Structure 1
Amino acid sequence: MRTKFSIELMALTDELAHMARLAHESAERASVALVGSDLTAAYEVFALEEQVQIEHAKCEDRSVILLALEAPVARDLRHVVTAIQIADDLLGVAAALSRVADVVVRRYPEPVALQPLSEMLAEISGAVADMAGTVVRVIAAQNPPRDRILVPRDETLDRLRAQVADAASDAGWPHGSAMAIDIAMLAHHFGRCADHSVRIGQLIRFFHTGIPLYAQVEG
């Protein structure tokens, strides 16, 4: 019975790793869609979200079965509960990226923003893709570092998001309310991706160390 349970836990981890790779690919395609007003890349983001939804359902089903039939305790229980939360966050990343793709599709063939904001949005989207790549690595790591934040916040990303949002809400904004709303929402959606990514790092550290999320402070 214990061997079967261990196999199920490994399968759960593999499903999370697959979800993370899909979310990372979605972040990369969303960046391409945004930077190049690329309709094909935008629709690829939608398709990837659907795949993440399928994988999320698999993780959820496997987790419920493990909790209901195996009654795990201690570290095994932490493994299952953490996996459920990580799956939810990965689904949140994919959903936020789909909202980014929505904006690209709605404004096509026009760009989402004009210079210099388009350049700033490109940098933001690239930073979010980098964070998603970090999530892939920390989920796959057998023994991640126990004494530091695994997915740190990107201060440059946060600063650029604030600048973009401020520019779109400025009283002298010359490009109309529709573009201003779209840009503000893009900043919000990318912020959600970053928040989910950071939280996944915290959850993985909690699993390995038992340190609760509220006690994990960046040095």
Structure 2
Amino acid sequence: MRTQFTAELIALTNDLTLMCSLAHDAVERVTDALVDADLTATYEVFAFDEQLQKMYGAGEARTVLLLALQAPVARDLRHVVTAIQMAGELSQIGLLTSRIADQVYKSHPAHVAKRSILEILAEMGRLAAERTALAGRAVAGHPLLPEDAPGTQVMETLHRRLHSALVDPASQSSTVAAIDIALLGHHLERCLDHTARIERLIRFLDTGVPPTAQPSDDE
């Protein structure tokens, strides 16, 4: 029974690593889609999201079986519960990138915004993709970044730049267009938030300190 449980945990971790890779690719390609009004990249993002949702559903089913049949306790229980929570965070990244891709699709062949605003969105996307990749490395067993590593604070700075650009009269954006663009920035910001939660969940697995008791980037 123990051997089977260990094998299931390894399989669960391998699936999480693959989901991290898919989430990273989704964020990276949706950034390409935004910057270049790239319809091919847009379709790829939809496909990545579909894969992520399928894997999350399969992981959830596997977790239920593990809890029901193996009745793990202590660290093993923490491992199983943490794994499905991380899978949930990754599935949310997939949903967010799909929403961004949907806006690119609706705007095609035009870009969703003028070049100066796209450059800010591109920086936000690259930061979110970088942090998703680092979260994936942590899931695979590599050391976590320090808790004060650049992340949320940098994204907040980019968010403020985006807001300033949108309210600048020179942007010539209608109110509706400005709201849509602000929402794209919000989605990218949320992608990074989900990677931060994954990192806190890994620290919880390693230390037993609940995510809510850990310092955040802005503290």
TM-score computed with the length of structure 2 as normaliser? 0.92
How far apart are 1:67 and its partner, in Å? 0.4
Question: Does 1:94 find its partner at 2:94?
Answer: yes
Q: Distance in 1 between matches of 2:54 and 2:175?
A: 36
Q: Distance in 2 between matches of 1:150 and 1:56?
A: 29
Match of 1:21 in 2: 21
Contact 2:12 2:83 in 1 (8 A): yes
Question: Does 1:180 find its partner at 2:174?
Answer: no
Aligned AA (1:78): R
Match of 1:200 in 2: 198
Aligned AA (1:158): E
Aligned pair partner of 2:155 in 125, 133, 157: 157
Aligned pair partner of 1:215 in 202, 213, 216: 213
* Structure-2 change in CA distance of 1:84 and 1:56 (3 Å): same
Aligned AA (2:61): D
Measured against aligned partners, the alpha-carbon deviations of 1:72-124 in whole angstroms (never above 9, x if no partner) come to: 00000000110111011000111001111111111111111113211111111
Aligned AA (1:162): R
Q: Distance in 1 between matches of 2:24 and 2:148?
A: 16
* Structure-2 change in CA distance of 1:175 and 1:155 (3 Å): same
* Structure-2 change in CA distance of 1:215 and 1:164 (3 Å): same
Identity of aligned residues (%): 45
How many pairs align? 217
Aligned AA (1:131): R
Contact 2:48 2:94 in 1 (8 A): yes
Moved runs in structure 1, 4+ residues, more than 4 A? Answer: 169-173
Q: Distance in 2 between matches of 1:121 and 1:171?
A: 19
Match of 2:68 in 1: 68
Aligned AA (1:207): L
* Structure-2 change in CA distance of 1:151 and 1:52 (3 Å): farther
How far apart are 1:176 and its partner, in Å? 1.4
**What are the within-5 Å matches in structure 2 for residues 25-36 of structure 1?**
25-36=25-36
TM-score computed with the length of structure 1 as normaliser? 0.92
How far apart are 1:156 and its partner, in Å? 2.2
Aligned AA (1:216): Q
How far apart are 1:170 and its partner, in Å? 5.8
SS at match of 1:175: coil
RMSD: 2.0
Measured against aligned partners, the alpha-carbon deviations of 1:107-162 in whole angstroms (never above 9, x if no partner) come to: 111111113211111111111111111111111016x35x9439762422221112
Q: Which runs of 5+ in 2 are unaligned?
A: none
Q: Distance in 2 between matches of 1:165 and 1:94?
A: 24
**What are the within-5 Å matches in structure 2 for residues 33-112 of structure 1?**
33-112=33-112
Match of 1:138 in 2: 138
How far apart are 1:199 and its partner, in Å? 0.3
Contact 2:31 2:126 in 1 (8 A): yes
Q: Which runs of 5+ in 1 are unaligned?
A: none
SS at match of 1:21: helix
Contact 1:150 1:202 in 2 (8 A): no
